[in-house]
Structure 1
Amino acid sequence: MPRVTIYSVAQACGVSSSTVSRAFTRPDLVKDSVRQRILAAAAELGYRPNKSARAIATGRTAMVGLVVPDITNPFMPPLVRAVQRAAGDHDWSVLLVDAEEQSAAEAELISRLHGQVDGLILASPRARSIDLQNAAEDLPCVLMNRVIRGLPSVVCDNGAALAAIGDQLVRDGHRRVALLGGPASSWAAQQRARTVRAWAARAEVVLDELKPYDASFDGGREAGAALLATGTTAAFAFDDVMACGVLAELASRGVAVPGDYSVVGCDDVLLARMVTPSLTTVTAPFGELGRAAVELLRESVAEPEGRPSRVTLPGVPVTRASTGPVAARTP
């Protein structure tokens, strides 16, 4: 079977080959009805645009870089999928780069992507702000779950949701609560800590802050062991993975959840629904986060000198089996 070319599509539509080319590379220059006819003919004939040739002609790669701090963190796969789906709607491919929890390596990884992608989405980066700004210089860049002045960003605001869960803890009789801090370099950990502190002050709850822990199962187990010396009856963990480690450690010490202790996570990854007891947590709108990040990146690519935008999406509280009324404790 002869190879389908741009000339085949042009002949089928009764237009010039240059019009077909513009339909794929500069759709804004082609009348919508004509472009739809070209796309339909291309699909019927099985024509696939040569992205390498298009990159040479337009200076665009049709590729977006997505840098994540740790692909093994359960928060990342649904976020990657959301970005990939949104990018695909605009004929962008996604180049995924994993920093492997090495914040110092993020800037170097970003620098290597220059010339390979049209723009970058940085998901929860841990590197210093100045290093990220320098590494992304002259390359359109959008942050997710991080705010840096001068760069567009998409963030999930968990404040109201965490406060709502805290208020339910108070109604359940909890008056002394622990905050298990996340990684010191994590912007999200800092924001969540501020939120829980503000809630505790308003609710007149005693808050015990424990040292920053790794956002990992092992970090949660370490935190779970430390909880038992605090006299608290409930804890906010930085995220669901840490919360699962807390559950495991408490179970290993014969502490019943929620009978003896209540545990709260954050992000609502799949693990939060699979663990026993299922986690009370905050649901992050992964699909909306991905779509918003891609849209902001498209704006940045089209207008590199445009004013940076910020999109804030609310988290949603979800009450499950890991929280309940405070247990009566014998002296």
Structure 2
Amino acid sequence: MKAATIYSIAAELGISGSTVSRAFSRPDLVKDDVRERILATAAARGYAPNRAARGLATGRTGLIGLVVVDITNPFFPPLVGSIERAAAGIEASVLLVDAAAHAPAEPGLVQRLSSQVDGLIVASSRLPTADLKVAIGATTPAVLVNRAAAGLASVVCDNSEALRGAADHLVELGHRRLVVLRGPAASWAAQRRTAAIRTWARSAPSDVKVIELGPFDAVFESGRDAVPDILESGATGILAFDDLMACGVIAGLAERGVRVPADCSIVGCDDVLLARMLTPPLTTVTAPFEELGRHAVELLSEVIAGAPRPANVKLSGSLTIRGTTAPVR
């Protein structure tokens, strides 16, 4: 039996080959009843459109480029997964590139990837805005995730309210000396999180003291290395840049016989899998990973289609109270 083609399906249904082609490449241009007949016949005959051939005709590759700064950070796997699921919904595949936390390599990676894909999603870039725009190029459709920049579409998680809630939670538990572990200096998210706590601190009770430490790299070791300064500060409440850093703090405190939450309470940020695997599980700010990925792909589709103005979507994190916070002793 010969393999089914666009033309054999068209002949069987008594329609044109171009109509069959449009049912796959531009389904919105084909009447619903005709499209359903085409798809049903194609499924019955085992036909699937050839992406390479379609790309030659449309100039589209069916690929979305995704650049992350460090795939070993547990923030990124759930984000990548959500983007891949959203991309599958529009019959696109994701080409993932890891910048391995080395900012100097990021511009070249972005530039090389842009020529191979229909559009780019750049997650948590730490490049200066001007350098980021140069790397993406004026003609490449792009969406930023976990970062905002003028003139580019973006999807961000605004944790400001949840972080203020986390600080309030510690104060309600009786903690009066709080330490904030700042994230990487070049990180847009770290800057926003620090700003949120600073805003909260200006209206905090007069007997509450907030101490900032850092900036630190967003790695486990940074949290553990910060422990001597945390102990010296006398703080009993700790707000870490992210869950990975919080885990490092907990490990460093345990090495010195300091118990969480009996002696110190700690709050992370992002709610990655690691946060739920700890004993006790980590109190943290939960990021809406599935929504971040879905909106990023939807926005990129709009940009690729020629949306006249880049959109910016702001989602909100939420405080999730678990076992690493308790009343001060």
Quick check: TM above 0.5? yes
TM-score (norm 1): 0.96
Q: Count how many residue pairs are aligned between Structure 1 and Structure 2.
A: 326
- Point out where structure 2 has 5 or more consecutive residues left out of the alignment: none
Q: Which residue of 2 aligns with 1:68?
A: 68
The Cα of 1:256 is off from its aligned counterpart by 0.7
The Cα of 1:155 is off from its aligned counterpart by 0.5
The Cα of 1:158 is off from its aligned counterpart by 0.7
Q: Deviations over 1:298-331 (max 9, x none)?
A: 1101115x1111101111110010011112xxxx
CA RMSD, aligned part only?
1.2
Is residue 2:147 matched to residue 1:146?
Answer: yes
Q: Deviations over 1:175-232 (max 9, x none)?
A: 1100001111111000000011111222233111002111111111112232111011
**1:229-240 maps to which residues of 2 (within 5 A)?**
229-240=232-243
Decide whether the 8 Å contact of 2:65 with 2:114 is kept in 1. Answer: no
Q: Which residue of 2 aligns with 1:256?
A: 259
Range with bigger deviation, 201-210 or 79-88: 201-210
SS at match of 1:133: helix
The Cα of 1:276 is off from its aligned counterpart by 1.6
Is residue 2:12 matched to residue 1:9?
Answer: no
Range with bigger deviation, 86-95 or 18-27: 18-27
Quickly say closer, same or farther: Cα 1:10–1:188, change in 2 above 3 A.
Answer: same
Decide whether the 8 Å contact of 2:179 with 2:211 is kept in 1. Answer: yes
Is residue 2:247 matched to residue 1:244?
Answer: yes
2:240, 2:220 → 1: CA distance? 11
Is residue 2:219 matched to residue 1:216?
Answer: yes
Q: Which residue of 2 aligns with 1:109?
A: 109
Q: Which residue of 2 aligns with 1:161?
A: 162
Is residue 2:312 matched to residue 1:317?
Answer: no
Q: Deviations over 1:21-62 (max 9, x none)?
A: 111122232112222222222222221111111111111111
Among 269, 273, 279, the alignment partner of 1:270 is 273
1:269, 1:12 → 2: CA distance? 52
SS at match of 1:207: strand
- Point out where structure 1 has 5 or more consecutive residues left out of the alignment: none
TM-score (norm 2): 0.96
SS at match of 1:203: coil
1:266, 1:46 → 2: CA distance? 47
1:250, 1:37 → 2: CA distance? 65
1:45, 1:225 → 2: CA distance? 68
Identity level (%): 59
Is residue 2:120 matched to residue 1:120?
Answer: yes
Q: Which residue of 1 aligns with 2:32?
A: 32
